[in-house]
Amino acid sequence: MLKTNAGRFFEDYTIGDVIHHAVPRTVSRGERALYHALYPARHALYSSDEFARASGLPESPLDDLAAFHVVFGKSVPDISLNAVANLGYAEGRWLKPVYAGDTLRSVSEVIGLKQNSSGKTGVVYVRTSGINQNDEPVMQFVRWVMVRKRDENAPAPETVVPELKGTLEIADLLIPEGLDFGKYDIALSGEPHRWGDYQIGEKIDHVDGVTIEEAEHMMATRLWQNTAKVHFDATHRDDGQRLIYGGHVISMARALSFNGLANAQMIIGLNGGAHANPCFSGDTVRAWSEVLDKADTNTPSVGAVRLRLVAYKSDAVFQLKQENGKYMPQVLLDLDYWVVMPK
Amino acid sequence: MLKTNAGRFFEDYTIGDVIHHAVPRTVSRGERALYHALYPARHALYSSDEFARASGLPESPLDDLAAFHVVFGKSVPDISLNAVANLGYAEGRWLKPVYAGDTLRSVSEVIGLKQNSSGKTGVVYVRTSGINQNDEPVMQFVRWVMVRKRDENAPAPETVVPELKGTLEIADLLIPEGLDFGKYDIALSGEPHRWGDYQIGEKIDHVDGVTIEEAEHMMATRLWQNTAKVHFDATHRDDGQRLIYGGHVISMARALSFNGLANAQMIIGLNGGAHANPCFSGDTVRAWSEVLDKADTNTPSVGAVRLRLVAYKSDAVFQLKQENGKYMPQVLLDLDYWVVMPK
Amino acid sequence: MLKTNAGRFFEDYTIGDVIHHAVPRTVSRGERALYHALYPARHALYSSDEFARASGLPESPLDDLAAFHVVFGKSVPDISLNAVANLGYAEGRWLKPVYAGDTLRSVSEVIGLKQNSSGKTGVVYVRTSGINQNDEPVMQFVRWVMVRKRDENAPAPETVVPELKGTLEIADLLIPEGLDFGKYDIALSGEPHRWGDYQIGEKIDHVDGVTIEEAEHMMATRLWQNTAKVHFDATHRDDGQRLIYGGHVISMARALSFNGLANAQMIIGLNGGAHANPCFSGDTVRAWSEVLDKADTNTPSVGAVRLRLVAYKSDAVFQLKQENGKYMPQVLLDLDYWVVMPK
């Protein structure tokens, strides 16, 4: 009997399958400190317990993206070990802040299957949920990946493509219970710009850049127990390069966006995202944002802003795509998400 | 008066000497988080407080190897600062799990001395114990190192070579108090294979590889306050390379062994080990294991398995030694240890 | 409206201005663990809660230099983002140990201004205080930086150069409340040398060296939320090198000084310091110390020692300066500070 996990192939997924991913994880202030060492993260709500308390929370939560990475990382051995490509995200919702001492596990349901015309691969859609020690969901997202077939002659399953919202509406999203920006201190948060100061269509260049190192992206990726070999084994790819976990670029870009979006405190929704080009050690990552939409919430002191976050390397380009519709070669990430801001 | 520590030479050891090593260390969940950032560690008992509680422990302990590294690291300034070689380990026993908040110190007793025929060096055998804030031993091991003489003309001490067990028997080992795998959840632990599924003689290729970086092995080694200069100072060796702490390779290989040995939860004994060849930054570390023995324990839900863990670089070789009896040049580590598994 | 922070220029400072720096930070045992991973820090008071308690403190504090880095880092966006040079430090005083769970913020008062004769730059003097969640100051220091003018034609402000003490006297400094070395254990602390064993004028070579890596200095600098781009962006300087945060060299040298100064437990005062030459990845950092002065304190078991700490790279030089008065090119740091030791 083979003891090691070779990962699942396209034939191994069935619509409605519920996969309980392995290795629950208790997070602590150690993970919080490491997040601050690995990314230039400065949003005050995640840096200061006092600031979090003044905002109606019991203490600083784990960064929303760290919670995402933990939940995502657990799904890798069952969903994307044999993935050819991570094709997209949709309907990401943060449902409950994660605090030191919480234990997270992940569960995915197979909600879509579509064999590709080549007959060699297929697309698998899963809805993945992160669940805490009280069996409460803390976040949820859909992703779809292209997976190899084990046997090219295996019959194609019935095609099921889930209906997914291209953009979540504010009514789909949850404002964390108790969150209140009524006493928000802009001297402590770092910038004066509130919800009312941002205009739809506005673009913000986040100025700073960070040159990526192998040791850092591997430590980050391991911390979320994401063990996909392409991130760690320099002999795996023909070019001898380790592919950087896309989530590392997301966290880097989000942290860089502090400069101009210091008051975009909490992420509450993920509409979609594309890892436009691969990122490698030595690349210098920069970011810009565009305000895509704004909305009121049912909490008077809290407004919601929908943002595009673009990470790119080397030269600044506000241009996203080429004439042929493909992303510019400098673009690493194109993310569409909802945040909350003080009004 | 010279204030700095030049380390001990062979003449400075006497049979029966008890050396209290300096700088006690309080461990926290910060060390636990760093362990997960530095190694692809996924054993559930060390990742989830809830899983540990379901196994009868109060919470996740510090990884057994992290406890070993802390205890070992404290002994370096007194035992191996002038060591030419770390020759072997024996009779390693984990006596009590280490939890966040525990403070560890180390004590070594000199149990053997043997001058080499060259007259320039000698072998020192010590039994090193890690002791917590309640003066309880948490682990113990014997190691022997080759140490330089300060003065080649100094008289040789009487030769004392301790009788050491080549292999610990199950009666020599302790199952942590309260440990109970009666409610063990294989969906959460990551693999279905229990104690009964492993056969003596079975070999397991752990598949994954990790390419080693300077920053990571130095952070790991410092974390255990092991300050042997050969690990940190690139100008120390003629070839400009920093030698990687052997314990870094042990932890890396053990973490990689999750893939195939996910249920080998706790290490309870170390029979022996050899650092077969040096490891340097840029090496890609892989691992395979062999089941050497199995035993019942006095806890009905808990079985013990004796494993050989081999770390190697580059090409996979199940072959350990060359015709001349020396290790193959790809082999980094050959470790012989006991673990517990659910029955 | 430009949303991003371009930093302040010389014209933006006025004598008496009080600047509340952004992003308070709660520190935890996670930061403590990272400090031990990033530096070869072994002073027992900061390593063991039990040792700290035996010295009259409630538990191990955050390393004094880590507290300094947090307070300093918060001031960077307002004080030194456009700084051409960090010119000096004075009157640094540690007023209260920082413990896990404390939340720190920083406030700076502008206490001096002097336009340079070129008319292009000026010197700004600030007194920066770190303040905890109970509004108690935990440390304070003066620093002065050379800052660019936005408009070279802007009128020069009235020159104000503050009177600063070249050296703090023992009466200016605080011994932490409750600190008592009456039961000091030299076996645990690592060296036998007490306050009485050090002579004014004595020099100590700290022996060990550490070769610096990009990933490590960036993680350290980020951990203190110091985001000055020159430390992170390899494309920022023409030579493609990332300049290492001067505080990284301070912490590295202080940690190396354990070997010979293991009982120099707590830093209580900073008289001055110069970053003599820039440090880059690949440099091997070494250190030596000179005993500049000694003093009694009002706590009978506690003595104070004034030390010069010199960090240098490559070849050992006890010589600090060249014939022209400039620092030798190997010298990285020349720091003048007060510590406490057991009598």
B264 touching A (Cβ < 8 Å): no
- Percent of chain B having pLDDT more than 70? 99
Chain C residues closer than 8 Å to A315 by CB? none
Spatial separation of the C-alpha atoms in residues B316 and B288, rounded to whole Å: 9
Residue pair A66/A102 in contact by the 8 Å Cβ criterion: no
Spatial separation of the C-alpha atoms in residues B157 and B243, rounded to whole Å: 31
Q: Please state the ipTM of this predicted complex.
A: 0.95
Task: State residue B84's pLDDT score.
Answer: 82
For residue A250, which of A317, A335, A343 has the smallest C-alpha distance?
A335
Task: State residue C315's pLDDT score.
Answer: 66
pLDDT in tens, B2-11: 788 778 999 9
pLDDT in tens, A152-210: 999 999 999 999 999 999 999 999 999 999 999 999 999 999 999 999 999 999 999 99
pLDDT in tens, C310-334: 999 976 667 889 999 999 999 999 9
- Percent of chain C having pLDDT more than 90? 90
Name the residue facing A229 among B193, B208, B215 (closest C-beta): B208
pLDDT in tens, C178-230: 999 999 999 999 999 999 999 999 999 999 999 999 999 999 999 999 988 89
Residue pair C70/C139 in contact by the 8 Å Cβ criterion: no
Which of the four pLDDT bands, split at 50, 70 and 90, describes residue A2?
A: confident
Contact residues for B154 (Cβ-Cβ < 8 A; gap 6+): B10, B11
Average pLDDT score over residue span B27-40: 98
Question: Backbone phi, then psi, for C74, in 5-degree steps?
Answer: -65, -25
Q: CA angle B336-B337-B342, nearest 5°? A: 140
* Token pair 């550490």: residue: C210
For residue A303, which of A139, A138, A169, A181 has the smallest C-alpha distance?
A181
For residue B40, which of B191, B258, B260 has the smallest C-alpha distance?
B258
Verify whether the Cβ–Cβ distance A215 to B216 is below 8 Å.
yes
pLDDT in tens, B273-291: 999 999 999 999 999 999 9
Contact residues for B142 (Cβ-Cβ < 8 A; gap 6+): B89, B90, B91, B92, B111, B125, B126, B127, B128, B162, B164
Residue pair A75/A89 in contact by the 8 Å Cβ criterion: no
Instruction: Locate C193 and state its tokens.
Output: 């040398």
Q: Torsion angle, CA of B268/B326/B126/B177, rounded to 10 degrees?
A: 0
Task: State residue A315's pLDDT score.
Answer: 66
Q: If you average pLDDT over each of A18-27, A82-91, C3-12, C148-157, which comes out highest?
A: A18-27
For residue C161, which of C90, C106, C95 has the smallest C-alpha distance?
C90
A-interface mutation test, from C17, C23, C81, C102, most A Cβ less than 10 A away: C23
Average pLDDT score over residue span A218-235: 94
Spatial separation of the C-alpha atoms in residues B341 and C202, rounded to whole Å: 58
Verify whether the Cβ–Cβ distance A215 to B210 is below 8 Å.
no
Contact residues for B301 (Cβ-Cβ < 8 A; gap 6+): B180, B181, B182, B184, B342, B343
Chain A residues closer than 8 Å to B208 by CB? 227, 229, 232-233
Chain B residues closer than 8 Å to C215 by CB? 213, 215-216
Spatial separation of the C-alpha atoms in residues A70 and A244, rounded to whole Å: 16
For residue C220, which of C22, C70, C80, C11 has the smallest C-alpha distance?
C70
Spatial separation of the C-alpha atoms in residues A147 and A110, rounded to whole Å: 13
The segment(s) of chain C belonging to CATH 3.10.129.10 are 1-27+62-164, 178-343
Chain C residues closer than 8 Å to A47 by CB? 23-26, 225
Average pLDDT score over residue span B42-67: 98
Verify whether the Cβ–Cβ distance A209 to C227 is below 8 Å.
no
pLDDT in tens, A116-131: 999 999 999 999 999 9
Which of the four pLDDT bands, split at 50, 70 and 90, describes residue B129?
A: very high
Contact residues for B135 (Cβ-Cβ < 8 A; gap 6+): none
Query: SS3 for A142?
Result: strand
Contact residues for A128 (Cβ-Cβ < 8 A; gap 6+): A71, A72, A75, A79, A106, A107, A108, A140, A141, A142, A143
Query: SS3 for A338?
Result: strand
A-interface mutation test, from C222, C248, C281, most A Cβ less than 10 A away: C222
DSSP calls for B253-267: HHHHTHHHHTT--EE
Task: State residue B315's pLDDT score.
Answer: 66
Average pLDDT score over residue span B333-343: 98
Residue pair B143/B86 in contact by the 8 Å Cβ criterion: yes
Spatial separation of the C-alpha atoms in residues C7 and C10, rounded to whole Å: 10
C-interface mutation test, from B1, B2, B18, B26, most C Cβ less than 10 A away: B26
* Token pair 């913000």: residue: A204
C240 or A186, greater pLDDT: A186
Chain B residues closer than 8 Å to C206 by CB? 4
- Mean pLDDT across chain C, nearest whole number? 95
Task: State residue A161's pLDDT score.
Answer: 97
pLDDT in tens, A35-93: 999 999 999 999 999 999 999 999 999 999 999 999 999 999 999 887 888 889 999 99
A230 touching B (Cβ < 8 Å): no
Q: Which CATH fold topology does C178-343 show? A: Thiol Ester Dehydrase; Chain A (3.10.129)
Give Cα separations from B66 to A7, B35, B223, C59, C98 (angstroms).
29, 8, 9, 22, 27
Spatial separation of the C-alpha atoms in residues C65 and C135, rounded to whole Å: 20
Spatial separation of the C-alpha atoms in residues B338 and B295, rounded to whole Å: 10
Task: State residue A317's pLDDT score.
Answer: 66
Name the residue facing C20 among A44, A187, A259 (closest C-beta): A187
- β-pairing, C210-211 vs A302-313, is unpaired
Query: SS3 for B52?
Result: helix
Name the residue facing C223 among A30, A36, A59 (closest C-beta): A36
Question: Backbone phi, then psi, for C27, in 5-degree steps?
Answer: -100, 155
Spatial separation of the C-alpha atoms in residues A303 and A182, rounded to whole Å: 12
**A168-343 CATH pick, 3.20.20.70, 2.60.40.290, 3.10.129.10, 3.40.50.300:** 3.10.129.10
For residue A4, which of B189, B207, B263 has the smallest C-alpha distance?
B207
User: Which residue of chain C has the CA closest to A288?
Assistant: C4
Spatial separation of the C-alpha atoms in residues B34 and B224, rounded to whole Å: 11
Q: Torsion angle, CA of B52/B58/B60/B62, rounded to 10 degrees?
A: -140
B171 touching C (Cβ < 8 Å): no
C81 touching A (Cβ < 8 Å): no
- At A180, the amino acid letter reads D
How many Cβ pairs closer than 8 A exist between chain A and B? 129
Q: Which CATH fold topology does B10-150+165-175+182-342 show? A: Thiol Ester Dehydrase; Chain A (3.10.129)
Query: SS3 for C272?
Result: strand
Q: What single-letter DSSP state applies at residue A242?
A: P
Residue pair B129/B20 in contact by the 8 Å Cβ criterion: no
For residue C42, which of C221, C333, C291, C257 has the smallest C-alpha distance?
C257
- Percent of chain C having pLDDT more than 70? 99
Cα-to-chain-centroid distance, residue A24: 19
Residue C304: pLDDT above 70?
yes
Name the residue facing A225 among B36, B209, B314 (closest C-beta): B36
Cα-to-chain-centroid distance, residue B277: 16
Residue B317: pLDDT above 80?
no
Query: SS3 for A212?
Result: coil
Spatial separation of the C-alpha atoms in residues A143 and A109, rounded to whole Å: 11
Task: State residue B280's pLDDT score.
Answer: 96
Q: Torsion angle, CA of A216/C75/A316/A89, rounded to 10 degrees?
A: 50
Of A238-242, A327-331, C316-320, where does mean pLDDT reach its minimum? C316-320
Residue C307: pLDDT above 70?
yes
Query: SS3 for A25?
Result: strand
Verify whether the Cβ–Cβ distance B22 to C314 is below 8 Å.
no
Residue B338: pLDDT above 80?
yes
**Span A1-27+62-164: which CATH code?**
3.10.129.10
Instruction: Locate B86 and state its tokens.
Output: 């770390």
Question: Backbone phi, then psi, for A129, in 5-degree steps?
Answer: -120, 140
Contact residues for C324 (Cβ-Cβ < 8 A; gap 6+): none
Inter-helix orientation angle C29-38/C214-223, to 10°: 150
Q: Hey, CA dihedral for B320, B324, B325, B331, is it positive or negative? A: negative
pLDDT in tens, C254-282: 999 999 999 999 999 999 999 999 999 99
Which of the four pLDDT bands, split at 50, 70 and 90, describes residue C115?
A: very high
DSSP calls for A71-130: HHHHHHHHHTTTEEEEEEEEEEEE-S---TT-EEEEEEEEEEEEE-TTSSEEEEEEEEEE
Task: State residue B226's pLDDT score.
Answer: 94
Task: State residue A3's pLDDT score.
Answer: 84
Q: Hey, CA dihedral for B269, B274, B280, B284, is it positive or negative? A: negative
The segment(s) of chain A belonging to CATH 3.10.129.10 are 1-27+62-164, 168-343
Residue B155: pLDDT above 90?
yes
Residue B267: pLDDT above 60?
yes
Q: What single-letter DSSP state applies at residue C171?
A: G
A-interface mutation test, from B34, B256, B313, most A Cβ less than 10 A away: B34
